[in-house]
């Protein structure tokens, strides 16, 4: 297992420019992480020269940029906007390839008013599938997440209910689309993450380790202090011989201490689940 982190707690600083990506890369290295994820909102340009600098900054800090988190909105009611979203993902695929990024996180889209369940499911599956050829050509793996709400969205994910998420998984079966399985997001609506993982386990490409304070609400907390059954979920993955990337989604807003506690918990939980210690 290798460990990365998406620094949601640092989004206000990164968005305002009080902290730059290279600051995050150095912090990630100091935390003992193998990688450092980024939101596309904090990649300030897709210009080749800028991306080259960003890649060198990560390497200089001693970490890889493992995953870029996009906020793809394939469920928008306007067809032209859905096409623009696909084009935007194509742009991020090219950027990921230049950065040496292995994974691009995709989302189905927002729960826009007036979009029927069938239309949203169809558009989500079509949008996700439309991005696969470009990703394959670029050597980038696309990961569809069981998601709650994008940091810059106004509504929750259209496929936040587990039944909708599973239906999109079914409609994309047989493709190269993998999953970013989040350990806590299902709990925001009271869905069982263990039951969901057992239905999609063969499609998991990477893991988001997250935790929430209580079932039925979306209130992130320090990993390991909430209600997510993280060790039980990791046991399923270990049984399937998963030994890839896990990314802590640190959103507790508890400062650097929250990051350090999350890293320590992730390592301990992985080994408790039967996994080998990080090398």
pLDDT-derived band at 150, boundaries 50, 70, 90:
confident
Burial of residue 229 (number of CB atoms within 10 Å: 0-12, 13-18, 19+): middle
Residue 248 lies in a domain: yes
Residue 57 lies in a domain: no
CA dist 140 and 103 (Å) reads: 6
The SS3 call for residue 64 is strand
Does the pLDDT at position 152 exceed 90? no
Q: What is the percent of the chain where pLDDT is above 70? A: 100
CA dist 47 and 132 (Å) reads: 22
Region 214-228 average pLDDT: 96
Residue 37 lies in a domain: no
Residue 219 lies in a domain: yes
- What confidence score (pLDDT) does residue 23 get? 98
Region 73-84 average pLDDT: 98
- What confidence score (pLDDT) does residue 257 get? 96
Does the pLDDT at position 105 exceed 90? yes
Contact 73, 80 (CB under 8 A): no
Side-chain half-sphere exposure of 278, counting CA atoms within 13 A: 19
Does the pLDDT at position 279 exceed 90? no
CA dist 256 and 272 (Å) reads: 24
* pTM for this predicted structure: 0.97
Residue 79 lies in a domain: no
Domain encompassing residue 253: 183-279
Does the pLDDT at position 151 exceed 90? no
pLDDT-derived band at 121, boundaries 50, 70, 90:
very high
Burial of residue 80 (number of CB atoms within 10 Å: 0-12, 13-18, 19+): exposed
Residue 168 lies in a domain: no
CA dist 46 and 43 (Å) reads: 7
Residue 276 lies in a domain: yes
Question: CB atoms < 10 A from the CB of 175, how many?
Answer: 13
CATH code for the domain in which residue 216 is found: 3.20.20.150
Number of domain units in the chain = 1
Residue 146 lies in a domain: no
Region 148-171 average pLDDT: 96
Question: CB atoms < 10 A from the CB of 217, how many?
Answer: 11
DSSP state of 143: E
């Amino acid at each position: 297992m290798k460990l990365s982190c998406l620094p949601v707690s640092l989004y206000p600083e990164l968005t305002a420019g009080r902290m730059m990506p290279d600051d995050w890369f150095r912090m990630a290295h100091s935390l003992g992480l193998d990688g450092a994820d980024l939101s596309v909102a904090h990649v300030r340009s897709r210009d080749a020269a800028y991306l080259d600098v960003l890649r060198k900054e990560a390497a200089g800090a001693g970490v890889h940029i493992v995953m870029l988190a996009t906020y793809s909105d394939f469920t928008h009611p306007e067809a032209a906007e859905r096409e623009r979203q696909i084009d935007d993902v194509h742009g991020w695929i090219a950027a990921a390839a230049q950065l040496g990024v292995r994974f691009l996180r995709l989302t189905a889209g927002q729960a826009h008013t007036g979009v029927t369940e069938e239309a949203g499911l169809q558009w989500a599956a079509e949008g996700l599938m439309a991005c696969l050829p470009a990703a394959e050509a670029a050597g980038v793996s696309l990961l569809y997440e069981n998601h709650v709400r994008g940091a810059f969205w106004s509504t929750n994910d259209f496929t936040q209910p587990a039944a909708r998420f599973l239906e999109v998984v079914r409609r994309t079966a047989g493709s190269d689309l993998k999953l970013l399985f989040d350990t806590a997001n299902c709990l925001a609506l009271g869905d069982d993450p263990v039951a969901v993982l057992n239905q999609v386990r063969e499609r998991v490409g990477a893991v988001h380790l997250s935790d929430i304070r209580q079932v039925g609400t979306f209130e992130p907390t320090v990993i390991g202090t909430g209600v997510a059954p993280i060790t039980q979920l990791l046991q399923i993955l270990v049984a399937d011989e998963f030994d890839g990337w896990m990314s802590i989604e640190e959103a507790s807003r508890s400062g650097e201490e929250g990051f350090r506690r999350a890293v320590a918990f992730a390592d301990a939980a992985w080994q408790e689940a039967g996994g080998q210690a990080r090398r």
